[in-house]
């Protein structure tokens, strides 16, 4: 096959626009600048001692701790993490529906902006930051984690629910209003049945995200598997940490499967 200079070569990676080239150059420059700024000593990082240290560290995870009392504790931790995620998501769904109504404009234009702003603030603050705040308000433990998830997820779900409500065809609700129904009942009979499957789908999707977050919130004291992992790593008990990590993986897979099952049955 002839080289790429011949005219029958297809238009390929050689045809760059100038701005693409400049942007690409700027990006490469940014990457190099980042590494320089961080001053990561790659020499030390990939040196023989570091590699050996890393190897020892990884080896210390195996075999994972498997004493029955510890397995029982891990199982309880997993259940607690699931409880945090479930309670947080459920609370967020309820609050989300409440906030979605004004955010969809059902209470006037001014309130719509206020509701949307509030939901944006809730959404923008990461769950971990909420968790550190909730630890102050509710003390260490899983309740703080559930509250943190609830606050952040209300922002996410509230906005998704509001968009679903705004996109729903209004004919059913309008017809009920024209037959004299009050606005709340017209919404419940006319629009809610239309958006209900979407609400379920969004809620279950967030549950899948939240189970991962719930595991991690334990790092700041919100109980469950996260707190166990943090604890055992701080006292250099890698074998126990390995068991906890494994439990985290299993829990995430199980919740993903549960979410798929429920989505099929509830939203059909």
Partner 1 sequence: MSTVAALPGGAARDPEARRRLGAALLALVVLWPLLQLAEFRPAVLFEVGNLRVMGGFLASFMPPAHAPEFLGLLLTATLETLAIATAGIALALFIAAPLAICATRALSVSRIGPGPGRWRGQALRGVVRGLLTILRAIPEIVWALMFVRVLGLGPAAGVLALAITYGGMLGKVYTEILESTDTRPARTLLEAGSGRLAALAYGLVPNAAQELTSYTVYRWECAVRASVIMGFVGAGGLGQLMDQSMKMLNGGEASTILLVFLLLVLLADAISGALRRALA
Partner 2 sequence: MSPSIVTRNLGLAHGNGLRAVHGLDLQLEPGERVAVIGPSGAGKTSLLRLLGTALRPTTGRLEVLGANPWQLAAGDLRRLRSRIGTIHQAPPIPPRLRVVTAILAGRLGRWPAAKGLLSLLYPADIAGARAALARLDLADRLFERCDRLSGGQLQRVGIARVLYQQAELILADEPVSALDPMLADAAIAQIAAEAGQRGATVVASLHAVDLALKWFPRVIGLRGGELAFDLPAAQVDAAMLRDLYASEGNVVPTQANDPTLLQVPAELGAGAPVVRLDSCRGRG
Q: Which residue ranges make up the site for partner 2 (CB under 8 A)?
A: 169-172, 174-182, 184-186, 188-191, 193-194, 196-197
For residue 237, give the DSSP letter. Answer: -
* Residue 15 touches which of partner 2, partner 1, none (Cβ within 5-8 Å per kind): partner 1
Q: Which is nearer to partner 1, 147 or 168 (CB)?
A: 147
* Residue 123 touches which of partner 1, partner 2, none (Cβ within 5-8 Å per kind): none
In this structure, what are the phi and psi dihedrals at residue 140, rounded to the nearest 5 degrees?
A: -65, 150
**Min dist. Cβ of residue 39 to partner 1 (A):** 9
* Residue 82 touches which of partner 2, partner 1, none (Cβ within 5-8 Å per kind): partner 1
C-alpha radius of gyration, the chain, whole number: 26
* Interacting residues with partner 1 (CB under 8 A): 1, 4, 9-13, 15, 19-20, 23, 27, 30-31, 33-35, 37-38, 40, 45, 53-54, 57, 79-80, 82-84, 86-88, 90, 124-126, 128-129, 132-133, 136-139, 141-143, 145-146, 212, 215-216, 219-220, 223, 229-230, 233, 236, 245, 248-249, 252
* Residue 95 touches which of partner 1, partner 2, none (Cβ within 5-8 Å per kind): none
In this structure, what are the phi and psi dihedrals at residue 267, rounded to the nearest 5 degrees?
A: -105, 15
CA distance 236 to 220: 18
Q: Which is nearer to partner 2, 177 or 212 (CB)?
A: 177
**Min dist. Cβ of residue 104 to partner 1 (A):** 24
CB-based contact 233:222 (threshold 8 Å):
no
* Residue 179 touches which of partner 1, partner 2, none (Cβ within 5-8 Å per kind): partner 2
CA distance 228 to 235: 11
Q: Which is nearer to partner 2, 46 or 196 (CB)?
A: 196
**Min dist. Cβ of residue 241 to partner 1 (A):** 8
Q: Is 170 helix (H, G, I), strand (E, B) or coil?
A: coil
* Residue 43 touches which of partner 2, partner 1, none (Cβ within 5-8 Å per kind): none
CA distance 85 to 266: 19
Burial of 19 (0-12, 13-18, 19+ CB in 10 A): exposed
CA distance 248 to 225: 7
**Min dist. Cβ of residue 262 to partner 1 (A):** 11
Where b means 16+ CB within 10 Å and e means fewer, 51-73 reads eeeeeeeeeebeebbeeeebeee
């Amino acid at each position: 096959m002839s080289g790429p200079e011949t005219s029958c070569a297809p238009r390929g990676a050689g045809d760059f626009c100038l701005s693409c080239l400049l942007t690409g150059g700027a990006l490469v420059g940014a990457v190099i600048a980042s590494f320089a700024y961080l001053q990561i000593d790659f020499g030390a990082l990939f040196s023989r001692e570091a590699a050996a240290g890393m190897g020892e560290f990884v080896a210390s995870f195996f075999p994972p701790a498997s004493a029955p009392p510890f397995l029982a504790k891990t199982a309880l931790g997993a259940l607690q993490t699931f409880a945090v995620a479930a309670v947080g998501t459920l609370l967020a769904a309820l609050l989300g529906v409440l906030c979605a109504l004004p955010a969809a404009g059902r209470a006037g234009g001014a309130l719509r902006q206020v509701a949307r702003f509030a939901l944006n603030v809730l959404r923008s603050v990461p769950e971990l930051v909420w968790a550190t705040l909730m630890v102050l308000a509710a003390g260490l433990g899983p309740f703080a984690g559930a509250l943190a998830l609830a606050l952040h997820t209300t922002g996410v779900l509230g906005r998704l629910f509001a968009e679903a409500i705004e996109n729903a065809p209004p004919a059913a609700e309008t017809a009920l209003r024209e037959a004299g129904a009050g606005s709340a009942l017209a919404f419940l009979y006319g629009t809610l049945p239309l958006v209900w499957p979407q609400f379920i789908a969004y809620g279950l999707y967030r549950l899948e995200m939240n189970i991962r977050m719930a595991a991690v919130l334990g790092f700041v004291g919100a109980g469950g598997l996260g707190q166990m992992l943090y604890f055992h790593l701080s006292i250099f008990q890698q074998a126990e940490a390995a068991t906890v990590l494994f439990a985290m993986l299993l829990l995430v897979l199980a919740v993903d499967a549960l979410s798929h099952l429920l989505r099929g049955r509830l939203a059909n």
